[in-house]
Structure 1
């Protein structure tokens, strides 16, 4: 059995995190547009609320080379030993001058822990009906290429691990990508795979504008700059309902990017905090009401307040009873 899969106690909620998720690089991380402590801040808010604690949180294992090779090509993994290559993927030019051994420890290792968390989330979603990785969602990384801050193809890995280890339980998967950017990484990986249905809602005017990858999208929903709550939520509800009526997955992978938040300079949209909370609530209601196990990944979001938005959304799901030991009632 895959060593990234672990069993958890009944007292634990399938919310996955460990302190190794966070990037700390002698201040160099401040050059990056990403809040490299976002995951730590989400955990702290959830912990302060009393929802989770260090005892109840699920700590994943690091995705090792043997795990990554299920999807990634050896040549690509070897290329990450070049500081220039990592600098290009992460868009931090200063990494070119940093010894690769330091990049390995301070950046690549945290990304491998988050990748391990995503893979584990797939298994826990089957066990409990849902799982949330406070991290992951590296949707610009494919089996042979990284980009857009994404080094490892955690979404492709999550799905392929389930196809491999649970072929009777998981034969069809839907990816719902509501990050502001097109998820071109896994789209390139699953372009010819009819077992994976992709719905992608993204700002069509921003990175990555990958025409080849768009061929894999079954429900393609490009949207315009500065879309607000009313139009955004109406669009999501219409197209997601249609997608679920058209395709009946054994698992839903929800890439819940928060770079749609108003003020996010990389996302370019104008959705409010309440709009994001309402979005996530709608997605979970649809999955649970249709008895579809759901995995939530936090993906992109580039403002300091993003962590609080994500935490508040998770708290809302908990307070509404949408995330608990749901398998007792639905699965």
Structure 2
């Protein structure tokens, strides 16, 4: 059964006036339920993550400032959201949902987190709407509990996974792969194990050909036993914060190929949804829902 981490707090951690970016977290499961792609039994609500697990990835001083709501205003501005107890709770539940998804993926081959993909959070910083790095926390959890020995993180959000790259820069058991817009946020990139920066305006054919050529070779070379996939839909031509030009069908073909590679190589995969900032919320929700539709077709 496809298992999907979702909690109502994903959609409502912010004061009025800041909520548009969060609407998709409520609308994605609602649309999938409406279509019959999933039932309520596919959804689970994660608990809060324990502090000791957070501290395996994030610096103690930074975490304590988040926890105690004492993060300096300048650093809050870098995050992009006003800091609050509900926002911090949201982040720790997202991270727990990603860990839970990993454990479920060992049996089900795939699991989703409706939120997550908070790849701009580094060891001791947050930025770009990211406070804690859910997939980095989960990858360290797998390594620390001897549940994986070689991990591949496939980051196909339009923005480079700079926080993830920094966290694992000295960890040979985690290979970070980011394919992103070259001229997009963050302005200062970190160094992933493999970065593929793309020029502005890249469309479906060019994008997919690069992915088709890269990913199978990468899996063969790295021989991972677990995969994390960050499936941002800010690669769409409609996205106001992205500079690429994929169609919804191109984005769907991207997801299909990633999942086909996981299936062909018998690799469990945890999927976090990442960014999506098209002006029309229906474009964001439809593109994200396509990721679930493809997974359901291929796995179930």
TM-score by length of 1: 0.84
Could you say which residue in structure 2 is the equivalent of 1:310? 288
Could you say which residue in structure 1 is the equivalent of 2:174? 196
Shift of 1:86: 5.9
Cα deviation digits, residues 45-100 of structure 1 (max 9, x gap)? 111111223233122112232331222222001222136256323324xx3xxxx6
Contact 1:89 1:151 in 2 (8 A): no
CA distance in 2, matches of 1:140, 1:121: 20
Aligned match for 2:47, one of 61, 65, 72: 61
Could you say which residue in structure 1 is the equivalent of 2:92? 112
SS in 1 for 2:163: helix
CA distance in 2, matches of 1:82, 1:38: 29
Aligned match for 2:141, one of 151, 158, 161: 161
Shift of 1:28: 2.8
Contact 2:25 2:115 in 1 (8 A): yes
CA distance in 1, matches of 2:92, 2:78: 15
Cα deviation digits, residues 210-253 of structure 1 (max 9, x gap)? 34x21xx2322110111101111111111112211211100011
Q: Based on CA coordinates, which of the two structures has the bigger radius of gyration?
A: 1
CA distance in 2, matches of 1:244, 1:294: 13
Contact 2:165 2:193 in 1 (8 A): no
Could you say which residue in structure 2 is the equivalent of 1:329? none
Shift of 1:199: 1.4
Could you say which residue in structure 1 is the equivalent of 2:2? 13
SS in 2 for 1:29: coil
**Does 1:28 pair with 2:24?**
no
Contact 2:255 2:294 in 1 (8 A): no
Could you say which residue in structure 2 is the equivalent of 1:82? 70
Shift of 1:185: 0.5
CA distance in 2, matches of 1:186, 1:316: 26
Could you say which residue in structure 2 is the equivalent of 1:172? 150
Aligned match for 1:210, one of 185, 188, 191: 188
Contact 1:137 1:155 in 2 (8 A): yes
Cα deviation digits, residues 237-294 of structure 1 (max 9, x gap)? 1111221121110001111111001121211110011111110001000111111111
SS in 2 for 1:55: helix
CA distance in 2, matches of 1:225, 1:241: 25
CA distance in 2, matches of 1:151, 1:251: 24
CA distance in 2, matches of 1:45, 1:202: 28
CA distance in 2, matches of 1:50, 1:194: 42
Equivalenced residue count is: 294
Q: Alpha carbons of 1:195 and 1:295: their partners in 2 closer, same or farther (altered >3 Å)? A: same
User: Structure 2: 5+ residue runs without aligned partners?
Assistant: none
Cα deviation digits, residues 148-189 of structure 1 (max 9, x gap)? 110002111100101112x1x410000111000110101111
Contact 1:253 1:296 in 2 (8 A): yes
SS in 2 for 1:28: coil
Q: Alpha carbons of 1:25 and 1:190: their partners in 2 closer, same or farther (altered >3 Å)? A: closer
CA distance in 2, matches of 1:267, 1:244: 27
TM-score by length of 2: 0.92
Could you say which residue in structure 2 is the equivalent of 1:282? 257
SS in 2 for 1:252: strand
CA distance in 2, matches of 1:57, 1:253: 19
SS in 2 for 1:137: coil
Structure 1: which 4+ aligned runs deviate by more than 3 Å? none
CA distance in 1, matches of 2:59, 2:16: 32
